[in-house]
Structure 1
């Protein structure tokens, strides 16, 4: 029996002292909060700090976990060939500790925006839903299972 294959990813909602959040504009997904895949042998927090730095130029400190998500839909990657397995994503709140806004191979823009304005910029249904969980956070971690293809469909939602 083959071992199951999952992608583990982390997302960071970076809040500055002015009440703004960090967003990056990706080539495939438009405006999102930064994050990405955890590399083999890398711990979750180091992966998140690395991804935020790579995508935005901002150095961060991880504060607390706010959401756990699974995208159970199998679909083809942007290349149209590679199968994307189930993804498990963990979202954290972070705070900036240095760096300057920058772009990367994955991002064309990065910016600070008012916390309440971010939903107007984010177009991905999954990212919007996860960002809304951040806005609604009251101390209990959100859990959600969803599929993004062919359309965004939530199958489980609760707090843990």
Structure 2
């Protein structure tokens, strides 16, 4: 029996002093909060700071873990061929400390959005659910297991 390989990803909900949330528009998935896969040799904080800066131009500090998510569907790994059984995502609240809004080879727009308008812009059920966990954060970390294909289905949701 071979050991499973997991994709580890991080997401950053960046809120500025005006109560606005940083969103980026991806070429394939619409509006999302920035984040992405942790690369070999990177720690989670380095990966998140890098992803946010790459996708939006904004420099950040990571403040608080707010969510842990398991997407238990089968997906293709980095090589586009190998099946990867689970994607583990960790969401953090982050604070902007510099930079300027920019785009990247993954994003066509970056924008500060009033926190009450964010759900009007996010169409992905998984991203919406993770943002709702941020809005409901009460000091306990949200944990959720779900699949996104063929449709968004939650199998476990609790606070830990």
TM normalised by structure 2 equals 0.95
Aligned to 1:151: 151
Q: 1:11 to 1:28 in 2, by over 3 A?
A: same
Specify whether residues 12 and 133 from structure 1 end up closer, same or farther in structure 2 by C-alpha distance, changes over 3 A only. same
Deviations 1:82-103 (A, max 9, x none): 6453100000000000000000
Aligned twin of 2:27 = 27
| Residues 1:48 and 2:62 aligned together | no
**Structure 2 CA distance, aligned partners of 1:81 and 1:108?**
27
Structure 1 residue 81: Cα displacement: 5.8
Query: 3-state DSSP class of the match of 1:127?
Result: helix
1:131-153 Cα shifts (integer Å, max 9, x gaps): 00000001000000000000000
RMSD: 1.5
C-alpha distance in 1, partners of 2:86/2:140?
24
CA deviation string 1:38-70 (max 9, x = no partner)? 001100000000000000000000000000000
Gapped regions of structure 2 (runs ≥ 5): none
What is the SS of the residue equivalent to 1:116?
A: coil
Structure 1 residues without counterparts, runs of 5 or longer: none
1:28 is displaced (CA, Å) by 1.1
Aligned length: 159
